[in-house]
Structure 1
Amino acid sequence: MEKKIPHRFAGSESGHPEDAPKGRAREGAHQGPRIYNLFPLLVGSVPDWGQRLPEIAAMKFNWVFLNPFHAPGFSGSLYAIKDYYQLHPLFQGDHQEPPEQLLKKFVRQAEKQGLGVMMDLVINHTAKDSPLVSQHPEWYLHGEDGSVRSPFVVDPDDPQNVTVWGDLAEIDYRQRPARKSLLAYWKKLVRHYTQLGFHGFRCDAAYKVPGDVWAELIETAQELNPKVHFFAETLGAPLHQIEQLHSAGFDYFFNSAKWWDFHADWLLEQYEQFRHIAPSIAFPESHDTERLAAEWGGEERRSRTWYLFAAFFSAGVMLPIGYEYGFQRKLHVVETRPEDWEEPLFDLASFVTAANAMKANTPVLNEEGPQRRFTSSGHPLVGLLRQSEHTGESAVGLINTDTEHSHDFGLDRLGEAMGVDIDAIQEITPLHQADSLAGHQRIRVAPYSMRIFHTPGKKKPKRSS
């Protein structure tokens, strides 16, 4: 099953697992999530996952996200789950330990590296050949002929183009007596993986499940561990389906920054609208999209610029395995195997490390405050200003979208945009010299690249009671 993600629509995909409980994400006092998506089919068995952890930690990520690792149905798709308590055969490998022990050991290994582990939670459908279909047919939607219904999507640009996922059975969340036992099953599942030590859940197609259901599942997990975080995947969802998640208690949403052209207004409008629901996570590519290196012919500067933009744009950032090496083969939820590991086109590990360190050390880049463009929409040099609502801190990203020519920007104009004297501005661009502004009146941004500037603010004084 390949998931189709219409772009330009998203909700607003937390910090380190030792951060404070849910709610801190909005207080600006923590580090946002820097997520490495360890796509399990490309790596192999669970012990093989563990071998990747040191290099992930070395790049200063603080989360590892695992796509579904459960036993799949007849299609073999990771997202067509047949048994939530058994491992995919590839992930079990030749190891005799039960799934619980293998997973618990991996989570402990990650913790020792300072990494929280997030798993995919897919509860809007199951595999069509899941035992649950015959054991609990009342949990599913049915067609007019009585057969279990498969989920589908209609292309908004062509209503005649309908994609049906025939390997899936769609769950029925309508209010009725059967929903109580259905919800009890999911609560038991969430308890199981929380007790194994998982620090977070990425909720697949969260908008297809009622917000009150998520609220109960989030409460169930946090009764066991108040620091468990929930991340809503809402890409492709219409506005009303996102808004119904407002009170569910999600810590983060994934946003649509990946599809921005750096000029249209829609992304900044979405950012402003959804940041009041929850902070968001940007990514330059995902397991559902084409590889950026493939889209742009392996151009290293594009991969650099897009990761830096994603790290700058919102509270969280995510990178899928292989991005740092310019992998070009699209990840596939059925067919990908460890043999598909590619020869690197380039190595961005040191750059990603520096970008993640920059993000971790700059509080304004770990919260969702006001953000606006201060350059004209048609100019190749795009200026974004991010501001903290808690500290008065601000950061500016200057993005040159011109692939052929450098563009200059006046340092005095930068000071005006940030509302400070130019002496207060510090460049924090990864792998850039800290004193690079000294003696200059203008900032030069190379073709298709990004530079980032920061000015510290002062914390607002606490009101006396």
Structure 2
Amino acid sequence: MPDSAVHPDAHLFQVRHPEWAANATIYEVNLRNFTPEGTFRAFAEHLPRLAAMGISIVWLMPIHPIGAVERKGTLGSQYAVQDYFGVNPEFGTLDDLRYLVQTAHALDLRVLLDWVANHTSWDNPLVQQHPDWYQHDEYGRLVPPVPDWTDVVAFDYTQPGLRRYMTDALLYWLREADIDGYRCDVAGLVPTDFWDEARLELDEVKPLFMLAEWDELYPSGGLTWEQFNSDTKLLERAFNMTFGLRLHYLLDHIAEGKAPLADIDAYLAAERAKYPPSVYLMHFTSNHDVNSWDGTEYERLGPLALPFAVLTVLLPGMPLLYTGQETALNRRLLFFDRDTIDWTELPLESFYTKLLQLKRRHPALRNGDVLSRLRRLPGPSSLYGFLREKDGAAVLCVINISEEPTPLQLPAEAAGTWLDVFSQVQLKLEEGDTLTVQGHGWRVLERV
């Protein structure tokens, strides 16, 4: 699709993206397990390293006090919020959070807070103060939003008082901590008109970035295909980005041998049919839910963990890196208890830095750029190759899911002088030349 004007619904997508999001990569921070201290200030010491890797946005998992009633594990789920205006003392104080945000801003990083608007802990004071703000079953009992989320109870957004309260809480953190936006948990379970109205008020404070945990192309929020709403319109007026769950699970299925590599083409076509190219999704091989419940990228993807990481960075969309991926973390982190990351060695820091710095600097890789083009490179079924181009600048990417070295014959569009981003070797390529990709490997070239 050549530009957003061609898409019949382009005029509906009115969210403005801050300029700093155009070349951004996001990093999810599991504060509880990031450092031995598990605090804002201890994590802040890592910010210069993340900035040097090419990270632009840090997303903090929920920072609020956690409910004690029906708590899971020792420390509980950070998504069982007891007080929307409070700071979990496990992490520090409001001043400590402000210090983290100020430190991030000085490094040209932005900070998103994880926000749980759909439900609270059982012992959130709102349960007693405003029982009418919650959903009840036919017997008048509070209900969880999903049956096995037994530590939380669901809000009822038909209540105007709840909508005002939640909007005020969102405004509070923008004003008091100078954060740059929110990642909103199971955003599609909350009525879209609430988000649309809240976004108008939030934008009056500062330009911000809103990330929805949802994907209109794949069931989200613990729902089945039958229960799932694929037309929430979250990206039209409220959110800058949603999760790319459909691509994520497609990569899992390819690794399992349940889908061919070429199905990525069908995914990209579905994304562009649904949205104009100014709209982009977030792509990843891991996050907190995936790591703890589905397994590490090495469990799920095996030898394709790194080739698929290359795809999530270089295909259209914003890449996400999760806590510890640069350490080659190969264990499921405990979700309800402490499980500290060992930062002694960072074997994949260089790998991710090369990719993320390329993403950050290259004009053809900008998020939501309607002038950027993706051109698929035909080849063997075990290879997935493409060019991304803008105004003569280009990146060529090929990954190999087979065990054997495999050559790709290059079309005329790939002719020219290139720099291999990983080996730093310069190559002069002509039409008909072959580019060999090692088994379970990748080649990333930048036109020079």
Residues 1:251 and 2:231 are matched in the alignment: no
2:130 matched to 1:139? no
Contact 1:118–1:201 (CA<8 Å) still a contact in 2?
A: yes
CA spacing shift, 1:182–1:372, aligned 2, 3 Å:
farther
The answer for unaligned runs of 5 or more in structure 1 is 1-20, 93-98, 153-162, 457-465
Equivalence for 1:10: none
Asked whether 1:228 is paired with 2:228, we answer no
- Does the 8 A contact of 2:26 with 2:55 survive in 1? yes
Q: How many residues align?
A: 396
SS of the counterpart of 1:281? strand
Q: Which residue of 2 aligns with 1:5?
A: none
User: 1-side partners of 2:23 and 2:213: how far apart?
Assistant: 17
**1:103 and 1:355 mapped to 2: Cα distance?**
29
Q: Is 1:293 aligned to 2:298, yes or no?
A: yes
**Range with bigger deviation, 268-277 or 53-62:** 268-277
User: What is the aligned counterpart of 1:48 among 42, 50, 63?
Assistant: 42
| 1:109 matches 2:103 | yes
CA distance in 1, matches of 2:343, 2:99: 30
Residue number in structure 2 paired with 1:367 = 367
* Distance apart, 1:55 and its partner CA: 1.3
Q: CA deviation at 1:351?
A: 1.8
- TM-score, normalised on structure 2? 0.81
CA contact (8 A) 1:371 1:386 kept: yes
Q: Give the AA of the match of 1:283.
A: F
SS at 2:46's partner residue? helix
Q: TM-score, normalised by structure 1?
A: 0.78
Structure 2 distance, partners of 1:321, 1:308, is: 17
| In structure 1, C-alpha distance between the alignment counterparts of 2:145 and 2:102, rounded to whole Å | 36
The answer to whether 1:35 aligns with 2:26 is yes
Contact 1:253 1:278 in 2 (8 A): no
Change (3 A) 1:90 1:216: same
Alignment check: 8 A CA contact 1:281 1:314 kept: no
**Is 1:281 matched with 2:270?**
no
Change (3 A) 1:212 1:393: farther
Separation (CA, whole Å) in 2 of partners of 1:147 and 1:372: 55
How far apart in 1 are the matches of 2:65 and 2:188?
24
Q: 1:203 aligns with which of 160, 177, 184?
A: 184
Query: Per the alignment, do residues 271 and 68 of structure 1 end up closer, same or farther by CA in structure 2, a change over 3 Å counting?
Result: same
Report Cα offsets for 1:361-401 as digits up to 9, x if no partner.
2122123456464436x71011234455xx47554421111
| Structure 2 runs not aligned, ≥5 long | 1-13, 255-260
| Matching residue's letter, 2:317 | A
Aligned Cα root-mean-square deviation (Å): 2.7
Flag the 1:272–1:393 CA change in 2: closer, same or farther, 3 A: farther
Q: How has the CA–CA distance of structure 1 residues 270 and 334 changed in structure 2, closer, same or farther, with 3 Å as cutoff? A: farther
Of 421, 424, 433, which residue of structure 2 is paired with 1:441?
433
Asked if the contact 1:212/1:248 (under 8 Å) is kept, the reply is no
Return closer, same or farther for 1:343/1:223 CA change in 2, 3 Å cut-off: closer
Task: Kindly indicate whether the alpha-carbon contact (under 8 Å) linking 1:208 and 1:241 is maintained by their aligned counterparts in 2.
Answer: no
Per the alignment, residue 306 of structure 1 pairs with: 308
Give the 5 Å matches for 1:131-170: 131-152=125-146, 163-170=147-154
Structure 2 residue corresponding to 1:212, chosen from 193, 209, 234: 193
Amino acid across the alignment from 1:166: T
Matching residue within 190, 201, 216 for 2:170: 190
Q: Identify which range, 52-61 or 325-334, moves more after superposition.
A: 325-334
- Secondary structure of 1:41's match? helix
Q: Note closer, same or farther for the CA distance 1:108–1:246 as it changes in structure 2 (3 Å cut).
A: closer
CA drift at 1:188: 1.0
Q: Percent identity?
A: 25
Which string of whole-angstrom CA distances, capped at 9 and with x for unpartnered residues, describes residues 274-312 of structure 1?
A: 442821111111111121134456x5xx44323221110
